Every structure is written in C-alpha cells, then in structure tokens.
C-alpha cells in the first residue's frame, strides 16, 4: 500500500487550482438516471469516488464516458433498466445511496443496498426513507437492501426532515422532479452542493425553487431532458489548502476559491490570526507573523463550520497559542485523527463529541495512519508544520477525495512525495 512522505518545516508560496466538488459531482451523476437524453458534466474532479459512481451507474445500465482526461463526463440514462444497486459497489462508498431517489422516480421501483458500517459513525438511511415515503413510496428493508416501490408512481408531498441531511435532501429533490404534483421539503439542507444539483436539474427542465434556503419547492414535470452543467468548486478541498499556509506559514493563492463557499470556516481562520483575501477569482491566504491563536469550533450544517474541515482545523490548532475546544455535532465518531496527531506531539483530549487541544510550539514528524478521507489530509497538514519526517500510510483514503494531492502540495513548495509499494 502506498504512503506519503512529508518533510516539514518550510514556509509555502504559490498557487493551487481548486477542482470541481466531489460531493456535488456524486449527486449530479445519478441525476442522469432521471432523463433519457444525455447529461454532460464539466469541471469533474479526477477521484476514485467518481470512478466508483461510474461503475455503479454502468451496473444500472447507464452509459458513462470520460472525456478530456477525466475533466468531462458524458452520461446517458437511456438504457438504464436495472433498478438494483448491488452491495459490492455500495459498500465502497456511502454516496451510492444517491441512486435511490432517481431509480424510484424513473422505474417506480429500486433496490439499493444499505451502505453498511462506516468509519465516521453509524450513518443510517432513515431520513431518506421517511422523505421518499412522504412521496408515496413503499419501502422495506430485506436482506440488507432497501426495496422501494411506487406502483402508482410518486406524487408530490410535504416532507419535514428531523435533521437537514444533505443526502436525503438530494434524494428527495431528485425523486420529486418527476412526481405528480408539488413537493415541499422543510428543514432541507442548504449546502452549496444542493444548489448546484438544483441548478443542473433546472437546466434539465425541472421546476425547483428555494434551494439554498430551508424550504425547497419542487413542481413535478412529466420528463426531464439533457443538459450540460459545470460542477461547482470543491469547498472542502479549498478549505484544506487554505490551511496549508495557515499551518506552515507563507502565502498561497487558491484559484477558483470564493469566500461565499467557506464563510464560517474563513471567519475562524481570521479569528486565529490568518489573513484571507477574496480577489474575485481566487482566495489569497497568508500567515506571516508568529503562531496562530487558539479558537473554539463547533461543526454545524451549512452555513456553519463544515464537519468535513474539522480534522484539518484540528491539525492547525495543535500548534496554536492557547487552548482550543472543538465540538463535533454532525458525526458521532469523527476524532480518529486525534490519536495520530498525538503521536506527532500534539496535546489533545477527547471526551465524547468534544476535543480539547492545547497548542504546542512544534509538532514532530512520525509514522501515522490515515483512518478516513479528511483525517488523512489533516495528517499531511500536520506533517507540513512538523520537525522532521512524517509518513502517512493507507493513502487510498486520500485518492477518494483529493486529486493530485502530491502535485498540488509540491506546487506550493511543500516537500512531499508518494512512496509506492
């Protein structure tokens, strides 16, 4: 298994181009199942999660062609006549569950394997089920699969989520585009990826209003048609690279970055003493004087501080002046990076959903193990600031969500290489 070697200590300088958003792309791709005509996605990130979704869609009978070195995907739901999403593919990636709503809308039935255990918490599907049932679907769990049927077709309905789940909002929004009548989703997720999906669905002929707010209204139409849609910038990749100069010192420009994608996160960086400037087409981030200050962080649904940046933020705060408290409210088991950071000399105490970080002057390089996608990149960030060498193993997690991570970090002056084995 490959690992990544980082020699820490140097300040950073240069530019990083931010890729298209993994999480947006993973919900845009299944939208092709809703239409007979082709859907073309541009600004696609080149990641193993995108390959997994490609495999899943092909297994359902859809056509997916990768063009322009993977930057463009040409998809067609024309021949998609298999409504069964098999466990062998779904278990690799939870986002596979995003085919449930489109399959149900298109075929009136679907069988989608439950994703199974996940490293960052239980992550059940009850909110997805509740939302689709409100649209008239009958859903039962049998042999590890959610079997969903809408023999008389889906009909619009009132859906009130107990929690603003991103995936459930996406599934119900997609299903409702082809339902008879009007659907209103209350307490909908407001993440930018939801608005990106709504924009794409509107380009395909869907009638959707209110995305980006807590109430989304979808008026069902008879059919959707083809479209071409550019994937929005990846705010989590953006936030991750914003942390690189924050932790190692220096100045880095993130091309394609915008403050509106990372508002709450940028505010915390500012509070910690990191400068962030929006140029209109990029973000410039710099830390040129002294250590950062401790800050308290609580993860929340958008527009709050994203859970997907919590591990990386913790890496920064390990070297802050003072004591920081990080509270994780979205996932119940998302501090697995903490013991690895402790191996590098960090002082962290975890109790339930709260981590208390007492900043140290300097981290020390060590062999560490990636436990999930965001945890792995937090260890790279820590390695940038550490004295000596850090080797991060199990980097297949990184390949799921960070494209060309070694090239991008090297491009801003980090001493980093991939060790093949």
Tokens for 363, please give them.
């981290």
Closest by CA to 24, choosing from 255, 238, 284, is 238
Closest by CA to 51, choosing from 24, 68, 29, is 29
**116 near ligand UD1 (CB under 6 A):** no
The span of 144-152, 163-171, 199-207, 313-321 binding ligand UD1 (CB under 6 A) equals 163-171
**40 near ligand UD1 (CB under 6 A):** no
Residue placing its CB nearer to ligand UD1 in the complex, 331 or 335: 331
Task: Return the residues of window 74-103 that contact ligand UD1 according to CB under 6 A.
Answer: 94-95
**126 near ligand UD1 (CB under 6 A):** yes
**23 near ligand UD1 (CB under 6 A):** yes
**198 near ligand UD1 (CB under 6 A):** no
**307 near ligand UD1 (CB under 6 A):** yes
**DSSP β-bridge partners for residue 191:** none
Residue placing its CB nearer to ligand UD1 in the complex, 251 or 329: 329
Catalytic residue (one of 5, 11, 118, 203):
118
Q: Residue with CB nearest ligand UD1?
A: 167
Residue placing its CB nearer to ligand UD1 in the complex, 26 or 56: 26
- Cα–chain center distance at 421: 28
DSSP 86-120: -HHHHTT-GGGGGGHHHHHHHHSEEEEE----BTT
**165 near ligand UD1 (CB under 6 A):** yes
Closest by CA to 169, choosing from 27, 29, 296, is 27
**125 near ligand UD1 (CB under 6 A):** yes
Least Å distance between CB 95 and ligand UD1? 4
The span of 38-46, 165-173, 262-270, 282-290 binding ligand UD1 (CB under 6 A) equals 165-173
> Are 21 and 231 in contact, with CB atoms under 8 Å apart?
yes
CA gap 421, 419 in Å, rounded: 7
**168 near ligand UD1 (CB under 6 A):** yes
The span of 35-43, 51-59, 126-134, 345-353 binding ligand UD1 (CB under 6 A) equals 126-134
**26 near ligand UD1 (CB under 6 A):** yes
- Cα–chain center distance at 416: 24
**368 near ligand UD1 (CB under 6 A):** no
**In the set 124, 270, 347, 396, which binds ligand UD1 (CB under 6 A)?**
124
Least Å distance between CB 365 and ligand UD1? 29
Residue placing its CB nearer to ligand UD1 in the complex, 125 or 292: 125
CA gap 4, 30 in Å, rounded: 33
What is residue 201's three-state secondary structure? helix
Least Å distance between CB 249 and ligand UD1? 29
**159 near ligand UD1 (CB under 6 A):** no
Q: At what angle do helices 235-248 and 373-385 cross, to 10 degrees?
A: 20
**117 near ligand UD1 (CB under 6 A):** no
Beta-carbon contacts of 247 under 8 Å, excluding residues fewer than 6 positions away, are 315, 316, 319, 381, 382, 384, 385
> Are 147 and 112 in contact, with CB atoms under 8 Å apart?
no
Residues in contact with ligand UD1, counted by CB under 6 A, come to a total of 22
The span of 123-131, 135-143, 221-229, 355-363 binding ligand UD1 (CB under 6 A) equals 123-131
**Mode of pairing for the β-strands spanning 145-149 and 138-142:** antiparallel
Alpha carbon separation from 69 to 18, 45, 73, 241, 286 (Å, rounded): 16, 10, 10, 23, 32
Q: Is residue 118 flagged as an active site residue? A: yes
CA gap 130, 101 in Å, rounded: 12
The span of 31-39, 117-125, 150-158, 288-296 binding ligand UD1 (CB under 6 A) equals 117-125
**50 near ligand UD1 (CB under 6 A):** no
**In the set 39, 173, 266, 330, which binds ligand UD1 (CB under 6 A)?**
330
**396 near ligand UD1 (CB under 6 A):** no
What is residue 172's three-state secondary structure? helix
> Are 92 and 52 in contact, with CB atoms under 8 Å apart?
yes
**Mode of pairing for the β-strands spanning 63-67 and 39-42:** unpaired
CA gap 342, 231 in Å, rounded: 37
**127 near ligand UD1 (CB under 6 A):** yes
Residue placing its CB nearer to ligand UD1 in the complex, 193 or 399: 193
Tracing tokens 């669905």 back to the chain, one arrives at 201
**167 near ligand UD1 (CB under 6 A):** yes
Strand ranges, E, within 315-408: 323-327, 347-351, 354-358, 363-364, 367-369, 386-387, 389-393
Site residues for ligand UD1 per CB under 6 A: 23, 26, 94-95, 121-128, 163, 165-168, 193, 307-308, 330-331
Q: What is the set of active-site residues?
A: 118
């Amino acid at each position: 298994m490959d690992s990544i070697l980082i020699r820490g200590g140097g300040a950073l300088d240069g530019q990083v181009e931010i890729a298209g958003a993994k999480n947006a792309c993973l919900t845009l791709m299944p939208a092709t199942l809703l239409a007979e005509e082709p859907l073309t996605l541009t600004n696609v990130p080149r990641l193993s999660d995108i390959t997994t979704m490609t495999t899943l869609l092909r297994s359902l009978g859809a056509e997916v062609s990768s063009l322009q070195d993977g930057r463009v995907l040409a998809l067609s739901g024309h021949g998609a006549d298999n409504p069964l999403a098999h466990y062998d593919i779904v278990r690799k990636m939870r986002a596979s569950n995003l085919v449930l709503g489109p399959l149900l809308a298109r075929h009136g039935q679907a069988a989608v394997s439950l994703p199974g255990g996940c490293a960052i918490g239980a992550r059940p599907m009850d909110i997805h089920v509740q939302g689709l049932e409100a649209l008239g679907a009958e859903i039962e769990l049998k042999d590890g699969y959610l079997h969903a049927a809408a023999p008389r077709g889906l009909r619009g309905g009132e859906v009130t989520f107990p929690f603003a789940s991103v995936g459930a909002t996406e599934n119900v929004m997609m299903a409702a585009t082809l339902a008879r009548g009007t659907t209103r989703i209350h307490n909908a997720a407001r993440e930018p990826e939801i608005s990106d999906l709504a924009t794409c669905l509107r380009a395909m002929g869907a009638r959707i209003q209110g995305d980006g707010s807590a109430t989304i209204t979808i008026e069902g139409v008879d059919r959707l048609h083809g479209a071409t849609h550019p994937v929005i910038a990846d705010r989590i990749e953006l936030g991750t690279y914003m942390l690189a100069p924050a932790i190692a010192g220096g100045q880095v420009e993130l091309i394609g970055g915008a403050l509106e994608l990372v508002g709450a996160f940028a505010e915390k960086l500012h509070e910690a003493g990191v400068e962030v400037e929006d140029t209109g087409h990029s973000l410039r981030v710099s830390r040129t004087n002294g250590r950062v200050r401790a800050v308290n962080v609580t993860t929340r649904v958008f527009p709050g501080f994203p859970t997907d940046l919590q591990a990386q933020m913790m890496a920064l705060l390990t070297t802050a002046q003072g004591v920081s408290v990080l509270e994780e409210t979205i996932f119940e088991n998302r501090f697995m990076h903490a013991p690895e950071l402790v191996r590098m000399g960090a002082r962290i105490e975890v109790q339930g959903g709260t981590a208390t970080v007492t900043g140290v002057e300097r981290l020390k390089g060590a062999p560490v193990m990636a436990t999930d996608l965001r945890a792995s990149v937090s260890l790279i960030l820590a390695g940038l600031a550490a004295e000596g060498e850090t080797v991060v193993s199990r980097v297949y997690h990184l390949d799921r969500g960070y494209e060309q991570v070694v090239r991008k970090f090297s491009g801003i002056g980090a001493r980093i290489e991939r060790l093949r084995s």
